[in-house]
Each structure stands twice: as C-alpha cells, then as structure tokens.
Amino acid sequence: MADAEPKNDGFMIFLGFIGVLILLWIASGGPNRPGAYVPPRDRLDITIDKQEISLPKPSVTLPWKATSTEDFALSAFTLSIPTGSQSIPEKEYAIIGINTEKDASTLLTGWILKSDNTGISTTIGRGASLPLLGAINEQSNIFISGSGKAYVTSGRSPLGTSFRENKCTGFLANSFEFTPPLEKRCPSAERLVGTVDRSCSDYLRGLSLCQIPTTLPSYLSIDCRSAIIEKLQYNSCVGTAQNDTDFLTNSWRIYQQTSEDLWRDSRDFVRLMDRLGKTLQTAGY
C-alpha cells in the first residue's frame, strides 16, 4: 500500500503538466493562430470577390479584301433581267453591272437576289477565275475590278462552275450552249497553231475567231491537221495566251445551279442586296 502513493503523485504531476500545455495553446490562439494546421476537407467553401474581367475580342481574318459598297453611290450598280422568268433555268438570267474606279475591287460573293413578290432569294457563291476543261477547278471569291458585269443564270453551268470569261472562252461555245452567247475574241488560229506550211497558214487565215472546224480538207498535210486538232481548242488556247495582258476580261458567268426558275412568269420585282442586306438596285418586268 505504501508503494502506490508515489505512483499516484507522479500521475497527478503529469496531468498537471498536460493541463498547463493546453492552457498555453488556447492562450496563443488555438486552431485559429497563424500557421496552425487545418485538417483537409472534401470540399472547400471559397468566396471570391466579384469583379469585371475584360477579355480580348477574337481576331477574325477574312479570306478576301475588297472595297465596301458603302464607298460608292448606288448609281455605281445596275440590275436588269432581260429574259424575265423562263421555263428553262439555264436561259433565265439577270445582269449585274459594276461601274467603279479602276483600282476598286468589288466583292460579289455573298450578294443576294430576292423577289419582292414571292420572297424567293438566291445568294451568289464562288467561282473559278481560270476554268479548265477536264480538271477540278479551284473555287475563289468573285470580284469585279473597276467596271464590269456579271451574268447570273438561275440554272446549272455547262462547266460545272461559275467562271470568269477570258480571251479563250469563246472556244467553249463550240461544245456548250450559253445564254447569252459568249463573246468571241479568241487569238487568231494562225497564232495558236503556229507555222506548219504555206497551205496550212492559208487555211487558218480563213477561219473565224474561236472556230473549231468539224472537218478538215484532204489537201492539208498530216502535220497541219494534227496541229489544228491539238491547238484549236480551249485548254490549249489558255496555255498559249494566259500571259497576255488582255487575257482576262471583266465579265463573270455566275450559275446558281437551281433546277427550277427563280422568278415569276410576269410582273416580278427583283432586289439586289449586298452581303449585309443593303439594297443596291431593283429591277422589275
């Protein structure tokens, strides 16, 4: 019994020491004191002060650069529909005229033709600046620089694409029908075929511009006939004349590729609008 008392005194001393430590910890701020360890929780409730944040606007790079229609008076643009409505869409067309400064480039892609009476509208798309037969023609936006015109046909293109006319497109009229007819301003047959022999040159001088003969005289040499067959055709003409300064014209053939006519048979009123919906001209028939 006498041996238990020292043990009890030591235990009481130990408890007293622990109590003093607890009092000192509480006096120093307990769990709220700086640097105190806080056990992790599954979710932290965080409050962030509201503040306005200005983000930079996205930069948009357009694939083309053109003069705005706002830069010109409405008199710079004309619209006519010579045919009215046609039962054959390939024969129904409108003519858009552009008359601006020589160095101005007007973008037609995105322009709209709309009937006020029916609400039917069609939007001008893209086309081939230099079309080739038997090739996949690269499509680009349609521009007219300075003064020029565009024939907008409701139907399908014989070439499968809208295209810009050039010095050689008159050859295409030998194989395809165009409304209105293509202008025939091709290089001379002599230039395209070259010098073969005297009889060949004499024969070539008698051909009309852009003419592809369907039969060849028997008196022509084999070399002459071979050269005519090879050189008097559209793709070969492009290869010969495409570097001429007057090769490209300022006229486009645009096809909307519809299978039905777009305008009413009579008394329709068609509106030409730019990409933003601004009315540029109107035409009635």
277 found inside a domain: yes
| pLDDT higher at 212 or 104 | 212
Domain check: are 113 and 139 in the same one?
Answer: yes
Domain check: are 104 and 79 in the same one?
Answer: yes
6 found inside a domain: no
Domain check: are 191 and 239 in the same one?
Answer: yes
Residue 139, token pair as written in the block: 């499509």
Residue 126, token pair as written in the block: 């893209």
Residue 130, token pair as written in the block: 């230099």
Pairing of strands 248-255, 147-153: parallel
Owning domain of residue 103:
69-167+247-284
Domain check: are 253 and 127 in the same one?
Answer: yes
First vs last Cα of the chain: how many Å apart? 130
32 found inside a domain: no
134 found inside a domain: yes
Q: pLDDT at position 103, please?
A: 78
Q: How confident is the model at residue 75 (pLDDT cuts 50, 70, 90)?
A: confident
Burial of 23 (0-12, 13-18, 19+ CB in 10 A): exposed
Domain check: are 138 and 251 in the same one?
Answer: yes
Q: What is the CATH number of the domain that holds 102?
A: 2.60.40.1260
221 found inside a domain: yes
The strand pairing partners of 115, in sequence order, are: 270
The 10s digit of each residue's pLDDT in 27-49 is 655 555 544 444 443 333 333 33
Domain check: are 80 and 98 in the same one?
Answer: yes
Contact 145, 164 (CB under 8 A): no
Q: How confident is the model at residue 261 (pLDDT cuts 50, 70, 90)?
A: confident
Domain check: are 220 and 253 in the same one?
Answer: no
Q: How many domains does the chain have?
A: 2
Contact 178, 253 (CB under 8 A): yes
Quote the pTM value.
Answer: 0.73
Q: How far apart are CA 111 and CA 228, in angstroms?
A: 42
